Each structure stands twice: as structure tokens, then as C-alpha cells.
Amino acid sequence: MDPFGDLVRGLRSYGSLFGSTTLTPPWSLHFVDGAPLTLCAMLTGAGWILVPGADPVRLAAGETAVVRGPAGFHVVDEVGTPAEPIVCGVDCATPEQGGTRHRLGWHDPAPAPGSDASTLITGASPAGGEVGARLLDALPPVLRVGAGGSGDTVLDHVAAEVAVDAPGRQVVLDRLLDWLLVCTLREWFDRPDEGRPRWWTAQHDPVVGRALRLLHADPAAAWTVAGLAAATG
């Protein structure tokens, strides 16, 4: 298996928490699930992801971000917004606050054309999910990828699935979250800018990368420096 495949091999969600909500400024959500990975996708509008100890990350329409847990975080319309945060845990907004969050997720209607509302989709793997410590150690507090990637098609499926109450919806959402997380992480790892782990960027070195791939493919072999040198030319 390739190094990235090995890194995400244990990524499998069970009982993921999904939501699709339409927000009119000013707005503020406080996520307190403690999930190891939470995916945030902005379908329309824009907002900011605020993680303690990290710089604010702006999320524009069509962009997707992954937030590393287990610490809580905020998603707001603007940094310093005066909105009172709605706490999103296992139970998110109560009906009088504009929606409900059940185990199968919640859904608000899409905003009217021309409005300044934002539509945010979130998906969180519960803390009991199989997310490897090695993957979490390789990620920053927040990573963001732009629109137009391979995850866009998956996101369309997620938006449609959250909006309906159909048999097997939880199982479908679990698999869609895994798919979308892998697509988002793969795109982030493949980008050339800084922030990737050194062991990952070393794989692209013409000599060291070849040696690392050989070691990874057969870790039980009795490798020596001379053997690696001969194998890599």
C-alpha cells in the first residue's frame, strides 16, 4: 500500500454526526463534540474557523476544511462577531434556535437567491471512530482546500443525503464522510506548499523518496545502506 493509503487506512466512521444549516449574519457556532476530525464545507456564503492557539482560517463558498480534534472550535460569520454562539454537541440547536441536531443530522432549507446567508455542512466522526494517531499527528489544527477538487462530487451527495430521511441514511452518511475526508486529505497532502510532515515531503526527493518507498514496501527486509544505495541507483 502507498504511504498515503496506509495513513488513512483506519479512517472509518460509525454514527457520524452531520448537519446542514443556513445562517444569517451575525452567527456563531461552537462545536464541542471532541471528534478527532470534523469536516466543514461552505456551500454558499463564507465564514471563519477559529481554533484556540491557531490563526483564523477563512472558508469561502465551495471550500472545505478539516479541523483536528479533540479541542472545540468556533465557526463564525466574522472574526469578533457579536453573535451569541450556539453550542453544537450531540444535541445542537434547539427548535426555538432554528433547528435541531439529531444523530442522523439536521437540515435547513437553502437560502433565498441573492441573500447574504451562508450554508454550512459539517460532518464529525465520533471519538470512538478509527482515526489513527499517526494521521492526527501529521495534520495542522485546520487544513483547507479550495473548490473544484475531487471532493466536490461527494459533497453534492452529502448535501442531498442530509436533506432526506431515507432508510439506511446513517450508513450512507458514514461512508460519504469517509470518502469526503479521504478526498480532502489527499488533495491537501498533494499540494506543494509548506505544512506537510517532513517524512511526507521527503518522498518526493529523487533519491531519498525511492529509498523510503522501498523501506515502506518491505519493512521486514534486512535493509542496509549499501543495499538501499544499490536499489536506488
Assess whether 81 and 178 both reside in one domain.
yes
| Confidence at residue 65, expressed as pLDDT on a 0 to 100 scale | 94
Distance CA 103, CA 232 (A): 51
Assess whether 56 and 91 both reside in one domain.
yes
| Confidence at residue 77, expressed as pLDDT on a 0 to 100 scale | 93
Residues 133, 138, 144, 150, CA torsion sign: negative
Find how far residue 101's CA is from the centre of its chain: 19
Give the side-chain half-sphere CA count within 13 A for 156: 6
Assess whether 92 and 134 both reside in one domain.
yes
Given a contact cutoff of 8 angstroms between Cβ atoms, the answer to whether 78 and 26 are in contact is yes
| Confidence at residue 75, expressed as pLDDT on a 0 to 100 scale | 93
pTM of the model: 0.76
Assess whether 67 and 150 both reside in one domain.
yes
Assess whether 55 and 142 both reside in one domain.
yes
Assess whether 205 and 181 both reside in one domain.
no
| Confidence at residue 193, expressed as pLDDT on a 0 to 100 scale | 65
227 three-class SS: helix
What mean pLDDT is predicted for residues 135-139? 83
What mean pLDDT is predicted for residues 43-50? 93
Q: Per residue in 147-183, pLDDT tens?
A: 776 666 777 777 777 777 778 878 888 888 888 888 8
Assess whether 120 and 70 both reside in one domain.
yes
Assess whether 96 and 137 both reside in one domain.
yes
The boundaries of the domain holding residue 100 are: 3-190
Assess whether 123 and 218 both reside in one domain.
no
Assess whether 20 and 97 both reside in one domain.
yes
Distance CA 171, CA 122 (A): 16
Number of domains in the chain: 2
Grid cell in block for residue 163: 436533506
Contacts from 58-63 at CB under 8 Å and sequence distance 24+? 59/144, 60/147, 61/147, 62/146, 62/147, 62/148, 62/152, 63/144, 63/145, 63/146, 63/147
Say how many residues make up the chain.
Answer: 233
Q: Per residue in 62-78, pLDDT tens?
A: 899 999 988 889 999 99
Count CB-CB contacts under 10 A for residue 153.
11
Distance CA 27, CA 213 (A): 47
* 73 or 129, which is more confident: 73
Average pLDDT of the chain, as a whole number: 78
Assess whether 184 and 206 both reside in one domain.
no
61, 54, 65, 75: which is closest to 185 by C-alpha?
65
Indicate the burial class of 56 (C-beta count within 10 angstroms; 0-12, 13-18, 19 or more).
Answer: middle
CATH of the domain at 109: 2.60.120.280
Assess whether 127 and 160 both reside in one domain.
yes
192 pLDDT band, cuts 50/70/90, is: low
Instruction: Tell whether the model's pLDDT for residue 79 goes beyond 90.
Output: yes
Residues 211, 214, 217, 219, CA torsion sign: negative
Distance CA 11, CA 26 (A): 35
The region of weakest confidence among 25-29, 92-96, 142-146 is 92-96
Backbone angles phi, psi at 32, to 5 degrees: -125, 20
* 222 or 169, which is more confident: 222
